[in-house]
A = this chain, B = another copy of it.
Amino acid sequence: MTLTELKYVVALAQERHFGRAAQKTFVTQPTLSLALAKLEDELGLKLFERNKNEVLVTARGQAIVEQARKVLDEVGKIQSIARGGQDQLAGALRLGVIPTIGPYLLPDLVPILHKRAPAMPLVIEENLTGNLAPMLREGELDVVIIALPFSLPGVKTLVVYEEPFSVVVPEGHRWQLRKGVKPSELSEENLLVLNNGHCFRDQVLEACPGQSNTALPEGRAGSSLETIRNMVASGLGVSVLPSSALTPRYASKLLKVVPFSSPVPSRKVALAWRASFDRPLAIDTLAASIEKLVEYEGQTPIFRAANRARRNIGV
């Protein structure tokens, strides 16, 4: 059975005339005759009564004709789905992002992206890298924003910016006017870091040798960067934050930001998506939007540093 044959059946049922039905389906009359005979043979019953002057649909044929119409109708829907689905910037983009980036990047990113791709709403999943990775592989997410290193088979990555880290201390801390702090000096202080599972925790501990990065007491760990910021402000210790969490929007009188001395620790923030993802334009648009955002945010002192670092590595 072919879709063509079904088209013939429907046309013939409507025209009740081989010649006209053939015209309507853009074939010759013998072609239609033959195709129909073949189908009737295959189904094992006569669909049409050929009488002298007229072609009549048989009782059992009628049910089949109606079913054939339905089939063709459903096929038409396939084509219309396909037509509407050709725009790569149409349809939701499922975006994963880690908790130390999402709250600082997305509020500014979403409006920019919406302007560039208004028909592409974002479905956002904020989670740890370790949970985002399998979701990306399984196709539950289309793209994730994470910090390097990040490597998965079949997954491409693109660094979108690099942001330096800075030390934050409570107001009145003896370091608050320092022009540069060495990472190793942090071992003298009560360093507050994120809970286990956050890649930013590992990056901070790696950047600051001398910290015992195993079995850190629970009291020194926070569940989010905002928790940590508040803990520092209340004098519980010092910490390290990425520059995107230190824009003027987050400034506080109780908190002083002290830069690291060179070389400044930093992290590379990247997009990651399956190489086989069928809407690369969506990725491009997302990357371009972040690019635009980083340039704009570059007006502020902290992000300018991020920008410099980014240019230095030639991204």
Which residues does A use to contact B, with CB under 8 Å?
A: 1-3, 6, 43-46, 49-53, 56-61, 63-64, 67-68, 70-71, 74-75, 77-79, 81-83, 85-86, 91-92, 94, 138-139, 142, 153-154, 274-278
A67 vs B53: C-alpha distance when bound (angstroms): 40
In the complex, chain B residues whose CB is within 8 Å of the CB of A6? 78
Given A1-B75, A68-B78, A78-B67, A52 contacting B85 (CB threshold 8 A): no
> A60: which B residues are within 8 A, CB to CB?
81-82, 85-86, 91, 278
Interchain CB contact (< 8 A) of A3 among B3, B43, B56: B3
- A142–B229 Cα distance when bound, in Å, is 52
**In the complex, chain B residues whose CB is within 8 Å of the CB of A91:** 59-60
Q: Is the interface of A mostly helix, strand, loop or mixed?
A: mixed
Task: Pick the residue among B3, B45, B71, B86 that contacts A85 (CB under 8 A).
Answer: B45
As for how many copies of this chain the complex holds, the number is 2
What are 12 A-B pairs with beta-carbon distances under 8 A? Answer: A1-B3, A1-B75, A6-B78, A49-B277, A51-B154, A51-B275, A56-B138, A59-B91, A59-B94, A60-B81, A67-B74, A71-B78
When C-beta atoms are compared, the residue in chain B nearest to A52 turns out to be B154
Assess the A71–B75 pair: CB atoms within 8 A: yes
A310 to B204, CA, bound (A): 63
Q: Which residue of B lies closest to A142 (CB)?
A: B59
Nearest-neighbour CB distance to chain B for A282, whole angstroms, equals 11
Q: List residues of chain B with CB within 8 A of the CB of A3.
A: 1-3
CB distance from A265 to the nearest CB of B (A): 35
Cβ-defined contact, B2 with A276, below 8 A = no
Known contacts A153-B52, A276-B50, A276-B56: A82-B45 contact under CB 8 Å: yes
- In the complex, which of the residues B43, B70, B83 contacts A74, with contact meaning CB atoms closer than 8 Å? B70
Closest B residue to A4 using CB positions: B2
**How far is the CB of A62 from the nearest CB of chain B, in Å?**
10
- A57 neighbours in B (Cβ, 8 Å): 139
Q: Give Cα distance in the complex from A6 to B59, angstroms.
A: 30
In addition to A6-B78, A60-B278, 15 A-B residue pairs with Cβ atoms within 8 Å of each other are: A1-B78, A2-B3, A43-B78, A43-B79, A50-B276, A51-B274, A53-B154, A56-B138, A60-B85, A60-B86, A63-B85, A64-B78, A71-B71, A71-B74, A74-B74
Within the complex, what minimum Cβ distance (angstroms) separates A137 from chain B? 8
Instruction: Please give me the residue from chain B that is nearest to A86 by CB atom.
Output: B44
Q: Within 8 Å CB of A46, what residues of B?
A: 278
Assess the A49–B274 pair: CB atoms within 8 A.
Answer: yes
Q: Specify which of A46, A64, A75 lies most central, judged by the most chain B CB atoms within 10 Å of its CB.
A: A75
